[in-house]
Amino acid sequence: MSTLNLQLNAKETLVLELHEATEVRLISGEHWLSLNGKDITLDSNAPQHSLPAGKLIIEGEGVLTLKAQATYKEVSGWRHLLDQVWHRTAIAFS
């Protein structure tokens, strides 16, 4: 399994292209997710969710952990693995 820890600050939006099914877990804060037209709120009442492949939009403030369910036999480096599993773009609004 591949794991990615993300920290979002206020007014940040993160877009990830999930290439594999992924588990997302709230570590702190509260987050709003949108994936394939479905809205999901992660908070203390619902701290985790299973996500299919697709374009994921994340807003909120705090820390999330994403765990891809795929495993890889050969990896030439951590960055290479990250690029295979998630393509990310950060956008900050002021």
DSSP letter for each residue of 15-51: EEEE-S-EEEEEEEEEEEEEETTEEEEEBTTB-EEEE
Give the amino acid at 79. Answer: R
What is the value of pTM for the model shown?
A: 0.71
Give the Cα separation of 74 and 13 in Å (integer): 32
Structure tokens at 76: 């030439």
Instruction: Decide if 15 contacts 56 (C-beta within 8 A).
Output: yes
Which SS3 state, helix, strand or coil, does residue 80 take? helix
CATH class of 2-92: mainly beta
Instruction: Report pLDDT digits (tens) over 1-18.
Output: 678 898 989 888 888 888
Environment class of 74 (CB within 10 Å of its CB; exposed 0-12, middle 13-18, buried 19+): exposed
Candidate from 8-17, 47-56, 72-81 with smallest mean pLDDT: 72-81
Say yes or no to pLDDT of 42 above 90: yes
Domains of the chain, by residue range, sit at: 2-92
Q: Which of 25, 20, 27 is nearest to 40 (CA)?
A: 25
